[in-house]
Chain A
């Protein structure tokens, strides 16, 4: 995992004499007091984090928590008051005007909440804008613009004007405009917040699809937990200009750092986030197929269960036996192979709990979680599926 962006002790204070405010912040005077005393708004207060190549890094937080201020520092639309921002090891805060322009032209592109499309240009010319700024020849930039529009599902719309498109489509143009430049990093400031919920869900999935194809590093801002956990590889939670927790969605869900984050994840629809691997149990007890039926009965009796998964030496799943069948088999002298059955469901560890719901309520046996080589990773019982939804 290579590090793409590294932010160290970043502070952004708005208004005049912002350097003087730095000292106050160091002394621990709060944002509110500073605003009252000097009139300076503190947007970002001493934030450090890093973004890895190829990941979707989500910054989430309530309105006014400093998300926009932070992301706008990354391409220096906001000039940091203090702190360093390293891009591939180079401190971009030190860049002069020309270096900064080249950096923006080649390394980073931004997608805006209200699209920020050029209303006097066609969709195609919008998508070609970044290349035009770089001075690419007309034919080349229009060809690339058309290809990129195709990628975002807007093939054939190039001649339209932005206002002729729906909101969702306009944001696709915004995305195409950013992608056409082939930047290393995409900055997206609440790109889907202005869209209605259904379109928003489509766009989220589509962003993930596109990301599969283009493999960019993405910094994505949202105030919606569901969105954050759905698309984020890692999520940073902001409050009052500070980052209060960074981690994978699972880490944050299972281990919220404080009450603020607990509040935040309260209204989350967990079924969309939790996967089979998050709710499964260790697969024990197990019956290895070399074991006899007597062992099976003992295992089931001591654990108080009515069925048992059978695996081979490599823990590859072979089947399942029930206690009734096993007792009968011993009476009638049958072997394990006579009573083993395959009338159960399997799933892979990445499946979302939501998709397991209907199966869980239908089957009388636990669900087996197996990997690609059919190795038994764990089992899921109905109760644990429901628990995952709380």
Chain B
């Protein structure tokens, strides 16, 4: 049998290990502060979500679905939520949503500026592209490892892993959107003596918005997928129900939790897609 010579072995895993441990050891104060910050946000969002009366949420989603898509959509979405409630998963759903919302917000806050930077600088784009490709092909489980090392178990590493996994489309589509703004339009703005900021805020971002909205939709869906996996590191929610069901081979529980996840995913996808559609600028 052929064996690869030991001399050529590069133990890159080791170096990453050393690097991450170095980070943890030397920047523990920073990571602690970060952890506290993220925790504060997730907890407050969850507090609000848990506080909302269930019927108000259902009516709200019905109205949104109706306004954004159509009447039948509103009815279907609210029926789905009703199902989740009747499975006894309402509170867990809200825990999951809290992590999703936090991750999406952080992804956008970081991702959109990076995307804008990429659009403005060819160098930045050249550097970011392979990183983004890597981030999107990497199996999502891998993100759990540094998340756990840096933030231990719980909601915060859940948010962290989810954010890293879900940020790529926000960056990618912002870059794409801004680069896609008509040259003549930007030139027109320039010819009137607009500043860089005025062009970004009044021309490029409004023009890019429909595509950025598509990015938000994708980011949300990826966050939703990741949150289920993040339950393995202690982010309590619908995902952890699935995990428990697998461990106990509890088909009933697994089915209910699984359906609940699918329902939420559908609702969020359709709603964000519908909103993105509204932002389309007719040519």
B198 interface residue per 8 A CB criterion: yes
**Contacting pair A116 B282 (CB below 8 A):** no
A105 interface residue per 8 A CB criterion: yes
**Contacting pair A103 B207 (CB below 8 A):** no
**Contacting pair B192 A105 (CB below 8 A):** yes
Q: What is the total number of residues of chain A having a CB less than 8 Å from a CB of chain B?
A: 30
Bound-state Cα–Cα, A187 to B282, Å: 28
Closest chain A residue to B196 by CB distance?
A97
Binds A, one of B29-37, B182-190, B261-269: B182-190
Indicate which residue in A75, A117, A163 contacts B191 across the interface (CB closer than 8 Å): A75
**Contacting pair B192 A77 (CB below 8 A):** no
Within 8 A of B (CB), among A131-161: 132-134, 161
CB distance from B177 to the nearest CB of A (A): 13
CB distance from B199 to the nearest CB of A (A): 9
Q: What is the total number of residues of chain B having a CB less than 8 Å from a CB of chain A?
A: 21
Bound-state Cα–Cα, A100 to B194, Å: 10
CB distance from B208 to the nearest CB of A (A): 10
Bound-state Cα–Cα, A129 to B198, Å: 11
Contacts of B202 in A (CB 8 A): 132
**Residue from A108, A114, A118 whose CB has the most chain B CB atoms within 10 Å:** A118
- Contact mask A103-114 → B, CB, 8 Å, 1/0? 111101110101
Q: Is the contact region of chain B dominated by helix, strand, or loop, or is it mixed? A: helix
Count: A-B pairs, CB below 8 Å: 65
**Contacting pair B184 A119 (CB below 8 A):** no
Contacts of B282 in A (CB 8 A): 119, 161, 163
**Contacting pair B206 A116 (CB below 8 A):** no
Closest chain A residue to B186 by CB distance?
A116
**Contacting pair B283 A133 (CB below 8 A):** no
**Residue from B191, B206, B209 whose CB has the most chain A CB atoms within 10 Å:** B191
Interface, chain B (partner A; CB < 8 A):
182, 184-185, 187-195, 198, 202-203, 206-207, 209, 281-283
Instruction: Give 29 pairs: A residue, B residue, CB < 8 Å, sorted on A.
Output: A77-B187, A77-B190, A101-B195, A102-B193, A104-B191, A104-B192, A105-B193, A106-B193, A108-B191, A109-B191, A112-B188, A115-B184, A116-B182, A116-B188, A117-B188, A118-B185, A118-B189, A118-B203, A119-B185, A119-B207, A120-B206, A120-B281, A129-B192, A130-B193, A133-B189, A133-B193, A133-B194, A134-B193, A161-B282
